[in-house]
Structure formats: structure tokens, C-alpha cells
Amino acid sequence: MRTKSFALAALTAMLAGTTALHAQTFTFTTLDNPGDPTFNQLLGINDKGVIVGYFGSGAAGHPNIGYEIAPPYTKYTANMQPGSVQTQATGINNAGLTTGFWSNTDFGTTPPTDANFAFLREPTGSSFTYISAIDALTASTPAVSQALGINNSNVVAGFYNDVNGNAHGYTYTLSTGKYKGVNVGTTVSTVATGINDSGEVAGFFTMPDNHTYGFVQNASGGVTSHFSVPGMVTTQLFGINNSGVAVGSYTDGNNITHGLYYNSATGSWTVVNDPNGVGGTVVNGINNKNELVGFYTDAAGNTHGMIVTVKP
């Protein structure tokens, strides 16, 4: 099962994003589910510090197993779509609603590839209700739809693939069951990954020249800030908080990923690299307390979940 991490007419409208921030101090803590100390990704965090993620690489025989963990981070709770072979839990809001996607197979990276089906999990008393119909627009073979983020109004950000395998971002409102497309000019693909309480959507899009840019789109859909780390081909944004601070990653010339902390209001940004992440770092989620989650790859090639606290 694939992991979460994948022509504008006037690029002059792009925010250059060339101003790096220097005031933040980042503190890193590794957090791995003992079910698999070799592969963990932490993907979302709410304002209560509750984190969702998964273990298992998704290779054949090594399926993704979704989970949830709350402070003091000693007890892991499964978050698996009923009947699924694999599940990734990707986002969580303050009421405990979570997003994710699941698969009914575990083929791994060798074709035929695993399908992805978006879901939303809603707490209902002492149990949960899984809503698995958030993929009605999917037309690809195999089907690919991922619900990736959710705000406190129960509006989901995600994407689906069309018949040609190209991604299209969307928001989905639980109360109405309605979709709204997230479009960023004339692009090959657009992925919506996160949404804050004012309706700002973060994500990334790919141009015909294969250059991938991060973006933040305001609630009306009218104004979009585009961001690319100077000189890099791939920049992706994965989450956004109510202050408009987005997190994500970029890939350097050696194909190593580096975490990002990006202020969409000012265009300023800084790199977030776990000191143990010699094989790369990705920041995937952020809450309104400036707590970040993500993952890094160590010298042995193992992937570890990480929590990052930010101080000015």
C-alpha cells in the first residue's frame, strides 16, 4: 500500500519563499510502536496531543497497521478499518474524528499494486463508526482515494485518482456529504493534505515539467500561496494549523528528504531535520500548540516516528 508521501499561467504570482526562519528551536523525541520498531510514521496530532500513525512498511507480508496514541504515550490503540488488510491513520481533530485510508490486499510494491480507500472514523460512545464512502469520485485502477486531514468542523482534505491515474484534491464535509474540488491552476495533479479551522487547505501540486510545489489555498479558494524550496524540484506540504503555519518536506539533489516549517502568511520557512535522520526527515502534522509529528530514517534504514516541539 502506498505511503502518504508521492501549468500555472503565471508563476510570477508564486511566493518566492526564500526567507529562512532562524528564531525557532526544535526538540525531537522518537516514538515507535513496539509492534514494529523498524517502521513507524506519525502523521497527525490534535491540540490534546493525541497522535495517529501506523507501523509496517506496506511491503508484501509487512502491512500498514494504523494506531492512535495519547499522552503520556505509553498505550497504543489500534485504528484499523474493519475488514481491512492494511490501514493508515492520517489525521485527527480535537473531537477524536480521524481520517485515513485502507486496503484489502498486501501486494507490496510489486504489481498488482494495492488499492487505497478513504475512510473517516467517528467516535460513537465507547466505540467507533467507520465511514468508508469518501471515495465516490475515484476512477483509477486500482482505486486510489486518501483522506489525509480533518479540521474541527469535520471537513476532510484528501484526493482521488482519475482514470489516467492523476490526483485531484478535494474537501469533504461530513455534515452534508458534499465534495468541493481543490484546484490549483492547470496542473498534472493536485493533492490536498491538510485543512485548518478557517478552511485554509494545504497540499502540493505537480506541473508538466515534474516540478512539485507546496501550496496553501484560502477558504474561498480564490487566493493560493505557492511555495518551493529554491533550487529543489520537489516541495510538499502535509499539514496546516490555525496560524497558517504549514509543515512538509522537500527532496534535495541526493534524493534525501528534509522536513519543512513554513509560514504561509510571510513566506518564511526553515528546515526541520531530526539529528538521527541521516536518511531523511518528513514533518507530516502540526497542531495549534506548535507541536509537530512526522518520521525520519536512521543510518540502518529504519523509519521512526518523531514528535517535535517548537519554541520561539
**Average pLDDT of the residues of the chain:** 90
Query: Is the pLDDT confidence value at 153 over 60?
Result: yes
The pTM for the full model equals 0.92
- Name, of 110-114, 120-124, 136-140, the range with top average pLDDT: 120-124
Query: Per-residue pLDDT averaged across 271-284, rounded?
Result: 97
- Given a cut of 60, is residue 170 above it in pLDDT? yes
Contact at 8 Å (CB) between 216 and 240? Answer: yes
Q: What is the predicted pLDDT for the residue at 183?
A: 87
User: Is the model's pLDDT at 267 over the cut of 50?
Assistant: yes
Confidence of residue 215 (pLDDT cuts 50, 70, 90): very high
Is the pLDDT score of 4 beyond 60?
no
The pLDDT of residue 15 is above 90:
no
For position 132, what pLDDT does the model report?
80
**Do 131 and 122 contact (CB within 8 A), yes or no?**
yes
Give residues with Cβ within 8 angstroms of 82, minimum separation 6. Answer: 130
pLDDT at 14: 30
Query: Above 50 in pLDDT, residue 120?
Result: yes
CA distances (Å), origin 269, targets 24, 184, 204, 286: 10, 21, 16, 15
Q: Between these two residues, 124 and 223, which has the higher pLDDT value?
A: 124
Query: What is the per-residue DSSP string for 58-124?
Result: -BTTB--EEEEE-TTT--EEE---TT-SEEEEEEE-TT--EEEEEES---TTSSSPPPBEEEEEEEE
Domains of the chain by start residue, with CATH: 14-311 (2.120.10.30)
